Structure 1
Amino acid sequence: MKSATIPALRVEPELRQAVEDVLGENETLSSFMESALRAGVARRQLQREFIARGLAAREEARRTGEYFDADDVHAELQAMLNAAKAERERH
Structure 2
Amino acid sequence: MKIVATPPACIDPASREEIEQALDEGDSLACIAETAVRQEITRCEPQSEFLRRGIAAIDRTAAAGDGIAPSSVIARLEAKLAEARKARPS
After TM superposition, the score normalised by the length of structure 1 is 0.51
Partner of 2:7: 7
Cα–Cα, structure 1 residues 55 and 25, in superposed 2: closer, same or farther, change >3 Å?
Answer: same
1:14-37 residue CA offsets vs partner (Å, 9 max, x unmatched): 322333344345432221111111
Partner of 2:30: 30
In structure 1, runs of 5+ residues without a counterpart are 72-91
What is the distance in 1 between the residues matched to 2:35 and 2:66?
A: 44
Partner of 2:66: 65
Q: Highest CA radius of gyration, 1 or 2? A: 2
Secondary structure at 2:35's aligned position in 1?
Answer: helix
Partner of 1:53: 53
Partner of 1:42: 42
Partner of 1:82: none
After TM superposition, the score normalised by the length of structure 2 is 0.51
What is the distance in 2 between the residues matched to 1:20 and 1:54?
A: 42
Calculate the aligned-residue CA RMSD, in Å: 2.9
Partner of 2:83: none
